[in-house]
Structure 1
Amino acid sequence: MSAVDDAVTLLSNANINGVGAVYGNNLPQEELDSTDKTIVLVTDAANDPAAYGDNDFWALNQEVEVQIWHSQQLDSDPETIEVAMMKAFTHQHWQVAAVRQRTLDPDTQQLFNTFYFSRTKNI
């Protein structure tokens, strides 16, 4: 499975309270203007060969970008959702590579944040 598929499955199975939907690679057309639920989008950020030897490699350094648009009707602290998401990844042997600051999406007026998670996958 790809890193995106694994990350989408991980987040979907985590059942994080407040997350309405998790998607990989693309948001469906009907979700583009959705502001009434928290939406997460996972995309590839890196997929580099690693662990070289004997003219071959046997691992991939993978990184995913996770974007989260918080619902305009969010009735809890966005940090609660974000920490739960970070814990879901770290409990499955991913590392938090970077966390960006929350900003306001100019189009939807939703709080928006971007995270990067990485792992080394033996192949």
Structure 2
Amino acid sequence: MTVLNDLYKLLNGHFSWPDKVYIKSIPDKAPSDSTFIFITDSTQQLKDFGSNAFRSMQYDLEIQIFYSTKSTLDYDSVELDLMRFLVSKGYVVSNVRGRMQDPDTFQDYQTIIVSKTERGI
């Protein structure tokens, strides 16, 4: 199982506020009046070199929260709860990009980059 699939399984159904969690792609007709999480791979880096070998791989994953255009959620609370949950599961929050608005759907969205290191590869 991939690290991305592990994250999908961890998030799918855990929180009550997203209507859906999408992995790798968002359907063309995703409704703008729903709140959803979108996750994708970002980068991978070999780590812990010694004796001409690496011993671990760091996976960076991108999580985007697209808020419904009718959302009444407290964005800060939602995002902080998500980040605390991920940290408790062994992820490291490496970057939070700041909220923007999608020019096509007018949904506010937040991008959070998390890392997970797999050792003994």
Normalised by the size of structure 1, how large is the TM-score? 0.88
Identity in percent:
28
Q: Could you say which residue in structure 1 is the equivalent of 2:15? A: 16
* Residue in structure 1 matching 2:64, options 67, 74, 99: 67
Once residues 12 and 66 of structure 1 are traced to their aligned partners in structure 2, the CA distance between those partners, rounded to angstroms, is 13
Unmatched segments (≥5 aa) in structure 2? none
Once residues 48 and 9 of structure 2 are traced to their aligned partners in structure 1, the CA distance between those partners, rounded to angstroms, is 26
Q: Could you say which residue in structure 2 is the equivalent of 1:30? A: 29
Q: Could you say which residue in structure 1 is the equivalent of 2:74? A: 77
| One-letter code aligned to 1:76 | L
1:95 pairs with 2:98:
no
Unmatched segments (≥5 aa) in structure 1? none
Once residues 102 and 6 of structure 1 are traced to their aligned partners in structure 2, the CA distance between those partners, rounded to angstroms, is 25
Pairwise CA RMSD of aligned residues? 1.4
* Structure 1 position 78, deviation (Å): 1.5
Q: How far does the alpha carbon of each residue in 1:62-116 deviate from its partner, in whole angstroms, 9 at most, with x for none?
A: 1101111101121221122211211121011111100011111111111111110
* Structure 1 position 120, deviation (Å): 1.2
Once residues 28 and 11 of structure 2 are traced to their aligned partners in structure 1, the CA distance between those partners, rounded to angstroms, is 21
> Contact 1:45–1:62 at 8 Å: present in 2 too?
yes
SS in structure 1 opposite 2:85?
A: helix
Once residues 100 and 53 of structure 1 are traced to their aligned partners in structure 2, the CA distance between those partners, rounded to angstroms, is 34
Normalised by the size of structure 2, how large is the TM-score? 0.90
> Contact 1:16–1:84 at 8 Å: present in 2 too?
no
> Contact 1:18–1:38 at 8 Å: present in 2 too?
yes
Aligned residues: 120
